[in-house]
Amino acid sequence: MPEGTLCNKIPVNTKEELLTLLADKSGKTYYEEMNHLDVDHAALKTTLDKSCKSRIRTWLEICAHCGMCADSCFFYLANNKDPKQVPSYKIQSTLGEIVKRNGNVDNAFMQKTMDIAWGKCTCCNRCGMYCPFGIDMGVMFGYLRGLCFSQGFVPWELKIGSGMHRIYRAQMDVTSEDWVDTCQWRMEENADDWPGLEIPIDKENADIIYTVNAREPKHYPEDLDEAAILFHLAGENWTVPSVGWEETSLAMFAGDWEGCRLQVQAVYDAMERLKPKRMVVTECGHAYRATVIEGPYWAGLKSGKTPVPSFHYVEWVAEALRTGKLKLDPSKKIKEPVTYQDSCNYIRNAGLSDCAREIMSYIAEDFREMRPNREHNFCCGGGGGMNGLGRYREERNVGLKVKRDQILATGAKLVISPCHNCWDAIRDLEEIYKVGIRWSFLKPILLKMVIVPDHMKPVEE
Amino acid sequence: MYDFVTGPLAWLAFLVFFVGVVVRVIQYIRGLDWKLDRVTYTVNVSYGIKGALRSIFFWLFPFGTRSWRSYPFLTLLVFSFHIGILFTPIFLIAHNVLLLERWGFSFWTITEAAADFMTFLVLVSAIFLVLRRIALPEVRIITIAYDYLMLAVAVAPFFTGLMAHYQSGNYQFWLILHILSGEIMLMAIPFTKLSHFVGFFLSRGQLGMDYGIKRGGMKSKGLDW
């Protein structure tokens, strides 16, 4: 059974393997090796028998082939209503065939399946809302990704991403020491401007344990500053864990369920160790989805809930503004038209649309809803790992057109986007289509408006 | 022949239908797995029930959901088709006379004109559903022969019933064909995608529980279907 040295059925578990894979620029050798990768039919059949149960089999069987899912898919709309982008077609011609043939599919079929599972679906779950039978093709594509991953048919970047989680318990090569150092460095950097500012590490019994996206310590340390300053101003008793601080899960995008389990277990262990009252997650959509919504299931928690109640950053902000923990200067409200990008992962798939509106009522004078919005909003175009996949860059860029047009229709030039993936996608759509929009997380916006009590201001010398 | 299709075969058809449907429901529920489906079906039960009921309820009414509202013509077709298929046979005078004769009970009945109208709606809706399959590229690409076969199986009892009722040609011929096609439809339900007779409620209920328990139901009023 030909297994490549880079492209094979074994996940990346060591730093050496990871470095070798990273050294293969753009995955050139990796994808070449994929052409020779065998499909392990017996293993695929066993996996199907064990994990493809009545929910998915019923979905595949009763699909009425009515096409009502077509218009729900932004890829279908962005590709001039190409019938090959109809969600039902995409899932029936991939997972549907695998199930029908009981795993008896070849290499070409698996590559085609991979290209659809990652290149034509972001698992935004919008189609499931428009199907009369409640057939959630996003859920099925998530499952399909797992099948592909187990057979080694996974985009190069996500094999790396899943390996990162397995090795570092983070989506990037940020070690626990790196993280702690970054926290201390940022604390020192801000000490003059913010007397008394702390980033407490491993403090037990805090009210809030704060967890982040590894990109923040690695590339956007100012995000960590802003989070610390806002907690400081709100008078929160908070902490960050030295281990288990990362919320994201490229393993989820990859369909590496064991990697997913390892990642969320690290966060849950931090909760058990430090016994905070609750957890707050940074402005990231899939991080919340992975660790708060899906994670308890990967970790086998029968309650379906995280060990301590967990909140997305927008929930904390809405609460802080509502209760007056954070007070904003009304004269600094955003005057220009501004819109809000509803992230699929914490709005459609976690029910937090009201929090977003509540926040906008405090910060914007002219808030313009996109159409459609809330749970019905379209994916930004970069979800499900799509932003990071070189192989599907062109597909991603075409898909961005739907979000571009939605934003333009609001007349707003500023998009509030409290989700890393959406933030990236909107940045990229501006880069590609040059429509003259700006985008921002909440934290920098809030910092510009928040009223700083005198005793918290630096002492003039 | 008439004695056979209204006697042993009718019993068999009802038996296959009822037992088959019950087995389908049991199999579906037994195949649910909290860990694989990632929904705690038996833990957060009240949220699950609320989510399931919402998910079924809104979809049971024409224009009750955003999706139904997005496709007004299709929605009318789908509802006329299903209402006709479900209610005409149960409340038809002729069927109820038969019920009373054979089993000593009957249901409410609708007028013949109403039954004719509903049957007519079933047939017309079916024609438009076929045309839609042919005309729309997004429907054509997912349409397979099986879809037409299922439509034919579902519509045949109505077509033959109408023929028998108006006794065009050979009454006995159409009547037997009518009974036979009705029995075929009943027996097909558990084994084909006509199983959405129960599958609709199961699948909708499941997704409703998913949203009610896990995907936001505990932090919001419930998904705006």
Q: Between chain A and chain B, how many beta carbons pairs sit less than 8 Å apart?
A: 151
Domain ranges of chain B: 2-214
Contact B215/A68, CB-based, under 8 Å?
no
Q: Do residues A314 and A333 both lie within one domain?
A: no
Residue A277, domain extent: 167-318
Concatenate the DSSP letters of all residues of A62-86 into one string: H-----TTGGG-HHHHHTTT-GGG-
The alpha-carbon gap from B116 to the nearest alpha carbon of chain A, in Å, equals 27
CB A348 within 8 A of CB A124: yes
**Residue stretches of chain A with pLDDT short of 50:** none
Contact A58/B143, CB-based, under 8 Å?
no
Contact A350/B225, CB-based, under 8 Å?
no
The total number of residues shown for chain A amounts to 461
Nearest to A134 among B27, B147, B207 (CB): B207
Per-residue tokens: A294:
């899906």
Q: Do residues A394 and A373 both lie within one domain?
A: yes
- The CATH class of the B2-214 domain is mainly alpha
Query: In one letter, which amino acid is A51?
Result: S
Q: What residue of B is the nearest CA neighbor of A49?
A: B31
Task: Phi first, then psi: give them for residue A381, nearest 5 degrees.
Answer: 110, -10
Nearest to A374 among B43, B141, B224 (CB): B224
CB-CB neighbours of A164 under 10 Å? 24
Q: Which of the listed residues A318, A353, A385 is the one where a domain comes to its end?
A: A318
Q: Which chain B residues are Cβ-neighbours of A92 within 8 angstroms?
A: 142
Q: Is residue A19 part of a domain?
A: no
Per-residue tokens: A369:
């809803």
Which among A435, A425, A283, A272 is positioned nearest to A345, based on CA atoms?
A283
Contact B27/A136, CB-based, under 8 Å?
no
Residue A308: Cβ-neighbour burial (10 angstroms; 0-12, 13-18, 19+): middle
Q: Do residues A295 and A175 both lie within one domain?
A: yes
Q: Do residues A181 and A313 both lie within one domain?
A: yes
Q: Which chain B residues are Cβ-neighbours of A349 within 8 angstroms?
A: 215-216
Predicted confidence at residue A1, as pLDDT, reads 55
Q: Do residues A387 and A333 both lie within one domain?
A: yes
Place of tokens 């899960």: A249
Q: Which chain B residues are Cβ-neighbours of A67 within 8 angstroms?
A: 136, 138-139, 142
Nearest to B139 among A65, A131, A139 (CB): A65
The alpha-carbon gap from A311 to the nearest alpha carbon of chain B, in Å, equals 10
Contact B66/A130, CB-based, under 8 Å?
yes
Q: Do residues A289 and A350 both lie within one domain?
A: no
Q: Which of the listed residues A128, A154, A180 is the one where a domain comes to its end?
A: A154
Q: What residue of B is the nearest CA neighbor of A139?
A: B37
Which among A50, A443, A72 is positioned nearest to A233, based on CA atoms?
A443
Q: Domains in chain A: how many in total?
A: 3
**From CA B194, how far away is CA B154, in angstroms rounded?**
8
Predicted confidence at residue A459, as pLDDT, reads 79
Which among A394, A404, A411 is positioned nearest to A426, based on CA atoms?
A404
Contact B206/A134, CB-based, under 8 Å?
yes
Contact A65/B144, CB-based, under 8 Å?
yes
**From CA A213, how far away is CA A409, in angstroms rounded?**
31
Q: Which chain A residues are Cβ-neighbours of B202 within 8 angstroms?
A: 58
The alpha-carbon gap from A51 to the nearest alpha carbon of chain B, in Å, equals 7
The alpha-carbon gap from A384 to the nearest alpha carbon of chain B, in Å, equals 17
Contact B136/A63, CB-based, under 8 Å?
no
Q: Do residues A174 and A303 both lie within one domain?
A: yes
Q: Do residues A313 and A240 both lie within one domain?
A: yes
Q: What residue of B is the nearest CA neighbor of A372?
A: B66
Q: Do residues A218 and A313 both lie within one domain?
A: yes
The separation between CA B173 and the C-alpha centre of its own chain, rounded to angstroms, equals: 27
Q: Is residue A7 part of a domain?
A: no
In eight-state DSSP terms, residue A390 is G
Adjacency order of strands within the sheet including A238-239: A238-239, A208-211, A278-281, A310-312
Q: Is residue A456 part of a domain?
A: no
Contact A302/B40, CB-based, under 8 Å?
yes
Contact A133/B196, CB-based, under 8 Å?
yes
Per-residue tokens: A402:
């739907």
Q: What residue of A is the nearest CA neighbor of B190?
A: A62
Contact B37/A55, CB-based, under 8 Å?
yes
The alpha-carbon gap from A95 to the nearest alpha carbon of chain B, in Å, equals 14
Chosen for mutation from B25, B41, B138, B195 (greatest number of chain A CBs closer than 10 Å) is B138
Q: What residue of A is the nearest CA neighbor of B28?
A: A54
Q: Which chain A residues are Cβ-neighbours of B224 within 8 angstroms?
A: 374-376
- Beta strand A278-281 with A208-211: parallel, antiparallel or unpaired? parallel
Nearest to B203 among A70, A134, A302 (CB): A134
Q: Where are the alpha helices (DSSP H) in B7-44?
A: 8-30, 34-37
The alpha-carbon gap from A294 to the nearest alpha carbon of chain B, in Å, equals 7
Query: In one letter, which amino acid is B117?
Result: F
Q: What is the CATH number of the domain that holds A144?
A: 1.10.1060
Q: Which of the listed residues A102, A131, A154 is the one where a domain comes to its end?
A: A154
Q: Do residues A303 and A358 both lie within one domain?
A: no
**From CA A248, how far away is CA A387, in angstroms rounded?**
14
Q: Which chain A residues are Cβ-neighbours of B198 within 8 angstroms?
A: none
Predicted confidence at residue A282, as pLDDT, reads 98
Q: What residue of B is the nearest CA neighbor of A73?
A: B138
Q: Which chain B residues are Cβ-neighbours of A131 within 8 angstroms?
A: 67
**Residue stretches of chain B with pLDDT short of 70:** none
Q: Which chain A residues are Cβ-neighbours of B36 within 8 angstroms?
A: 51, 53
Nearest to A83 among B36, B74, B138 (CB): B138
Q: Do residues A135 and A264 both lie within one domain?
A: no
Asked whether the ipTM of the predicted complex exceeds the cut of 0.90, the reply is: yes
Chosen for mutation from B38, B73, B76, B142 (greatest number of chain A CBs closer than 10 Å) is B142
CB B65 within 8 A of CB B214: no
Q: Is residue A129 part of a domain?
A: yes
Predicted confidence at residue A246, as pLDDT, reads 98
Chosen for mutation from A49, A59, A129 (greatest number of chain B CBs closer than 10 Å) is A129
Predicted confidence at residue B169, as pLDDT, reads 75
B211 Rama sector, left if φ>0, alpha if ψ -120 to 50, beta otherwise: alpha
A439: β partners? A415
Nearest to B44 among A64, A304, A372 (CB): A304
* Model pLDDT for residues A86-138, shown as the tens digit of each residue: 999 999 999 999 999 999 999 999 999 999 999 999 999 999 999 999 999 99
Q: Do residues A180 and A309 both lie within one domain?
A: yes
Nearest to A59 among B35, B137, B203 (CB): B203
Q: What is the CATH number of the domain that holds A363?
A: 3.40.50
Nearest to B196 among A62, A130, A139 (CB): A62
